[in-house]
Amino acid sequence: MYTIVVYDTAAERNPAILRTCRQYLHHVQRSVFEGELSPAQLKRFRAAVEAGIDRSYDSVLVYTFPPGTTAVRQDWGVPQNAPDTIL
């Protein structure tokens, strides 16, 4: 399923979650990742994320969309990526 992840973690834990996100998803903004994950991959990704964060302090927002969802992503500031249909 299509997945968007945005993290807001303490600075000392940023490198670890950045590494974990890069293993599973594409980097689209400083703390934003997106990509297609199977249910099994999502489960492994979640376990890896939860092992690396302080769940009483850090926030990791995860949006999941069913297959076939269509969305448009734009960047109104620095064009890190061209406007694109992604899902």
- Where along the sequence are the contacts to a copy of itself (CB under 8 A)? 4, 6-9, 28-32, 46, 49-50, 53-66, 69-78, 80, 86
Task: Give the list of residues 6+ apart from residue 2 with CB closer than 8 angstroms, or none.
Answer: 34, 35, 36, 64, 65, 67, 69, 71, 86, 87
Is 75 annotated to bind ligand?
no
Q: How far is the CB of 86 from a copy of itself (least distance, A)?
A: 8
List the one residue out of 63, 60, 45, 73 whose CA is nearest residue 14. 60
Tell the smallest beta-carbon distance from residue 60 to a copy of itself (Å): 4
Nearest CB to a copy of itself, comparing residues 40 and 78: 78
